[in-house]
Structure 1
Amino acid sequence: MADFTQTATVKTAVRELAAPIDSMAAFTSIIDDILTNNPWGCTSYEQAGVTLPGVSKASESYTGRVIYENNEAKTVGTISIKAPTPSAYH
């Protein structure tokens, strides 16, 4: 497993990936695998008489950041994008 670096006193961590996730299909495949196989062994629980899975998708949104560079590869600006679905992102 990769090393995680604590970023603050809040329970948040950043993981540097060895290689970027190169497509939305690859990203969706990773999420589907997590939801299907529960690789962390999270425990299901019961709420109001209904058994809920240990891993589920509570909400979904997609963010991205575009970095503008000049001819010398210096950053001259950035813009952040947030969308509720992959199709809205395009």
Structure 2
Amino acid sequence: MADFTPTATVKTIVRKLAAPINSLTSFTALVQDILDNNPWGCTSYEKAGVTLPEVSKSSESNSGRIIHENTEAKTVGFISVKTPTPLAIH
């Protein structure tokens, strides 16, 4: 497992992956595997008399960044986008 590197921003941490997640399908499968198999051994808890699952997805948001590079591969601009579905980014 890769090391976590703290950043200068409060309550933010960055994890460098050994290999990039190269497709939306791979990312979706990774999230679903975490939801199904609870690899970190999280425990359920009770709130207002209702037992909540060990792992759940509370919200989902879809965003991306389009980076414009010049012929020397230097970033000359970028735009961030938000979409209603993950497939809308592609």
Give the TM-score band, short-chain normalised.
0.7 to 0.9
**Partner of residue 45, structure 2:** 45
**Partner of residue 78, structure 2:** 78
Q: Which consecutive segments of 4 or more residues in structure 1 shift more than 4 A? A: none
Identical residues among aligned pairs (%): 72
Q: Cα RMSD between the aligned structures? A: 1.6
**1:29-50 deviation digits (Å, cap 9, x = unpaired):** 0000000111111110112222
Aligned residues: 90
Give the drift of 1:84: 3.9
**Partner of residue 8, structure 1:** 8
| Higher mean displacement: 2-11 or 59-68 | 2-11
Unaligned runs of 5+ in 1: none
What SS class does the counterpart of residue 64 from structure 2 fall into? Answer: strand
TM-score by length of 2: 0.87
Q: Report the Cα distance in structure 2 between the residues aligned to 1:11 and 1:48, rounded to whole angstroms.
A: 28
Give the drift of 1:63: 2.1
